[in-house]
Structure 1
Amino acid sequence: MDVAHPMDPDGTAVQADAAALRERAAACPVVLPGGVPGMIVSRHRELRDFLTDPRVAKNARHFAALQQGRVPAQWQLSAFALVTGMTTADGDDHRRLRGLAAEAFTPRRVAALRPWIERLAGELVAELPGRTDPDGIVDLRASFAYPLPMGVISELLGVDPAHRDRLHDLTHLLVSTSSPAADAMAAQREIHAVLADVVADRRTHPGDDLTSALIAARDRERDDGTERLSDEEVTGTLLLMIVAGHETTLNLITNAVRALSAHPAQLDLVLSGEASWDAVVEETLRWDGPVANFPFRYPTTDLEVDGTLVPRGTPVLAGYAGAGRDPRAYGPDADRFDITRPPGTRHLAFGHGAHYCLGAPLARLEATVALRTLYGAHPRLAPAVPDAELPRLPGFIGNSVAQLPVGLGG
């Protein structure tokens, strides 16, 4: 087997690393934090097929090194491997959990959120001038791209505003592969404690939200007397929704603004009505998606990916950043941001197959509304710092920058 590539825990060159791994082979050996051996699949066709292969599982009982005691007890990525919920469930368990959570993301319910999202986006944009520093600069990530999706997912889940900032900080520690293992584990414990408080509050004061619905499902028994949902599955589902429901959309909005700032001719096309905000969102998802590499899937038998052996029980990263710019799928200009790109190969930014992101329609709606509202008020918005100088979001899972200082352009 080839020499394994150490995954950079700081994520300092996500796209460059993704391209190097993709061009090396469809599946490459990597070293995960803590010295844990793994692999990554980052070519578009091979990743798409891998995500739907029935010989590939999500539950960590198939994680060979973990079952053999070869994973550190304190491990940065344990939350991704060991959380109880949809992302680590297979078969009937996955269908059961996904079916319950899907109630919050029906097309009707998502469409009904549009007026509320538009109102929240308008309020946040109106507040931006008052948040600028003496030089007229505001951190768009902190003041707009973050509170919009966090407000939306919190409303869906019934999370009290008092918990939101803390949940965001804990989420940051969970997804940052550069966090010390002890800090990541402590964040995991605390976020479960916060979510337990949310569940207790919703149990006492149920409402029209997903948490209340999950509690009701938890309290109902099946016909055979077994539980429909365990306490661990309730909190695990909420954890997934909090992380995926705001962190990815936050990165998506941030990355779209960065892309448009770096490609003013593309922005002109949208502002003139020659291209749509939907096209901006889709091209951003392909070209600079919010998730670079997502943990984990485990082959349940030895299998080959384009001639490369992926041994049974190997933790495999889904290399979305590499797949998004794969020239085999998108042609020789795959590295170019182009919102007029003809329809063709569908990107994998939201996954593929049974574990395709439930919240994808909501994320698309939020990002489209956010960009239209933001540029409708501030069409001359411009970055205050060159993109290359912006601090990267630490880690190789999330893909964005930690800050986005901009001038509003008058």
Structure 2
Amino acid sequence: MTQAFASEESEALSAQEAAAAASSCSREFRANPHPVYAALRESAPVCPLSPPHGVETYLITRYDDARAALADPRFSKDMYGAIDAYHRIFGDSSIALDDNMLFSDPPKHTRLRRIVGNTFTPKRVESLRARVQQITDDLLDACPTNEPVNLLPEFCFPLPLQVICELLGVPENERKQAQEWSATVAQTGFGPEARAKLEIAEGNLRDYLVDLCARKRREPDGGLLSALVTAQDQEGALTDGELVSTAWVLLFAGHKSTAYQIGNAVHHLLSRPDQKELALKDASSLASAIEEVFRFETSVENSTFRYAKEDVVVRDTLIPKGALVQISITGANRDPEMFAAPDEMDVRRPNVQASHLAFGYGPHYCVGAPLARLEMQIALGTLFARHPKVALAQKPEDARWMTVPFPAFRGLAELPVVLDPS
């Protein structure tokens, strides 16, 4: 099986091999899931899995099915409705952080999203442009230019982390600890040791956010979290649990996905000099290139869990009531029925922004998409403008991808580059 995952040009896997790989989430699968998703799209587009958490799960990999499922009200995001499954996967400690719009259905989801949308406005995001640029410049100033530097910890992660922390109003001296707890939560595992670490991190995050919200109530600072506290004080707007959980989901989703996406973009553009050159012709070309990277190697590989509220038939496969459903964003974004030559990165691909599913689709479309796009444009534009000869410090095929079991995101384990090889 290991050899079969060696490259994207590997011999096609059988449906049985692909289902086994996706179920086990092996290191080989984590390093390169694309051949697995290709095999599943072809032979088992709605595939029953046997994951370690033991809850019956179905994986959807074709674009049309994925897009429909993301907006299908029969697939619930309210994991409390599937409480036994929830406990088996996440454990009791996660409940305090999951009472948010990500894990809810209408009308609750509608109410929570409206509140967040009223505070996380395009105007507020655009007001961050100068600050995002300053943070980008400061991080690049601190990087050595004539020796290898790992851009993940030095650039890709601190940029969106600083931005979301400033947006929320997280004090600078508290950000590192919050990031460490978030990193533990992101690396989901099902063994006793992993579950124990997860529970400690979740408890620490909950206590920290409760305290931070209390401080924002005493001393408002005009940030996003202060605005949410104000919204909570409006009768019936937000419960204490919803406030803390909303703060958590904005902090977590607001930096992890963008950090890995910046890394994915740098790696793939540096691996393809012709595409990089086309991408850097002007601002419009860069914007299109960023959307193609979202499609080609999204940092959000699969949707968060849904569960079937009733029996649902998808492409002749019965998903029984109570089963979990995962939607492969990565698989759907490389569906040849939707995208020509999907395993090739083409920064001039037409209409890609309107068609890729990197930010989801339907009621749960990512509320942070405008901020992610802003950060990507400034990060990549500034990096390549300041260091036009930047190069990978290793062969593209030697890239190491995260291989921890069941991570929340798809991204590189490291990104060694030389900013100025000359």
TM-score (norm 1): 0.90
Distance in 1 (alpha carbons) for counterparts of 2:414 and 2:175 = 19
Please tell me whether residue 401 in structure 1 is matched to residue 420 in structure 2: no
The residue number in structure 1 matching 2:132 is 117
Please tell me whether residue 160 in structure 1 is matched to residue 177 in structure 2: no
Deviations 1:220-256 (A, max 9, x none): 31xxxxx321111111101110111000110111000
How has the CA–CA distance of structure 1 residues 294 and 73 changed in structure 2, closer, same or farther, with 3 Å as cutoff? closer
Deviation at 1:74, TM superposition (A): 4.6
Distance in 2 (alpha carbons) for counterparts of 1:7 and 1:279 = 35
Aligned 8 A contact 2:55 2:323 in 1: no
Please tell me whether residue 66 in structure 1 is matched to residue 85 in structure 2: yes
Greater CA drift, 91-100 or 275-284: 275-284
Please tell me whether residue 207 in structure 1 is matched to residue 221 in structure 2: yes
How has the CA–CA distance of structure 1 residues 384 and 305 changed in structure 2, closer, same or farther, with 3 Å as cutoff? same
How has the CA–CA distance of structure 1 residues 56 and 81 changed in structure 2, closer, same or farther, with 3 Å as cutoff? farther
Deviation at 1:272, TM superposition (A): 3.9
Deviation at 1:334, TM superposition (A): 0.6
Deviations 1:9-46 (A, max 9, x none): 65233333333333332211113332222111121110
Count how many residue pairs are aligned between Structure 1 and Structure 2: 395
Distance in 1 (alpha carbons) for counterparts of 2:324 and 2:181 = 24
How has the CA–CA distance of structure 1 residues 235 and 73 changed in structure 2, closer, same or farther, with 3 Å as cutoff? closer
Distance in 1 (alpha carbons) for counterparts of 2:357 and 2:281 = 29
* Larger RCO (alpha carbons 8 Å, 6+ apart): 1
The DSSP-based 3-state class of the residue aligned with 1:316 is strand
The residue number in structure 1 matching 2:292 is 283
The residue number in structure 2 matching 1:26 is 45
Distance in 2 (alpha carbons) for counterparts of 1:23 and 1:106 = 41
- Identity, % of aligned pairs? 35
Please tell me whether residue 174 in structure 1 is matched to residue 185 in structure 2: yes
Distance in 2 (alpha carbons) for counterparts of 1:63 and 1:178 = 20
Matching of residues 319-338 of structure 1 within 5 Å: 319-331=328-340, 333-338=341-346
How has the CA–CA distance of structure 1 residues 275 and 356 changed in structure 2, closer, same or farther, with 3 Å as cutoff? closer
Distance in 1 (alpha carbons) for counterparts of 2:195 and 2:316 = 35
Amino acid of the structure 2 residue aligned with 1:170? W
Please tell me whether residue 192 in structure 1 is matched to residue 209 in structure 2: no
Distance in 2 (alpha carbons) for counterparts of 1:307 and 1:231 = 43
Distance in 2 (alpha carbons) for counterparts of 1:81 and 1:36 = 22
Aligned 8 A contact 2:46 2:58 in 1: yes
Greater CA drift, 189-198 or 387-396: 387-396
Deviation at 1:390, TM superposition (A): 3.3
The residue number in structure 1 matching 2:351 is 343
Aligned 8 A contact 1:140 1:403 in 2: yes
Deviation at 1:73, TM superposition (A): 7.5
How has the CA–CA distance of structure 1 residues 81 and 384 changed in structure 2, closer, same or farther, with 3 Å as cutoff? farther
Distance in 1 (alpha carbons) for counterparts of 2:24 and 2:109 = 29
Aligned partner of 2:381 among 358, 372, 397: 372
Please tell me whether residue 143 in structure 1 is matched to residue 158 in structure 2: no
- Gaps spanning 5+ residues in structure 1: where? 222-226
Greater CA drift, 282-291 or 182-191: 182-191
Amino acid of the structure 1 residue aligned with 2:154? S
Deviation at 1:65, TM superposition (A): 4.5
Amino acid of the structure 2 residue aligned with 1:348? L
The residue number in structure 2 matching 1:8 is 25
The residue number in structure 2 matching 1:224 is none
Deviation at 1:284, TM superposition (A): 0.6
Aligned partner of 1:103 among 112, 118, 129: 118
The residue number in structure 2 matching 1:39 is 58
Amino acid of the structure 2 residue aligned with 1:403? E
Deviation at 1:80, TM superposition (A): 8.8
Aligned 8 A contact 1:21 1:28 in 2: yes
Distance in 2 (alpha carbons) for counterparts of 1:9 and 1:104 = 41
Amino acid of the structure 1 residue aligned with 2:218? T
Deviation at 1:386, TM superposition (A): 2.7
The DSSP-based 3-state class of the residue aligned with 1:406 is strand
Distance in 1 (alpha carbons) for counterparts of 2:97 and 2:126 = 33
Amino acid of the structure 2 residue aligned with 1:111? E
How has the CA–CA distance of structure 1 residues 82 and 243 changed in structure 2, closer, same or farther, with 3 Å as cutoff? closer
- Gaps spanning 5+ residues in structure 2: where? 1-14
Greater CA drift, 104-113 or 148-157: 104-113
Distance in 2 (alpha carbons) for counterparts of 1:108 and 1:240 = 21
Distance in 1 (alpha carbons) for counterparts of 2:246 and 2:346 = 36
Aligned 8 A contact 1:80 1:296 in 2: no
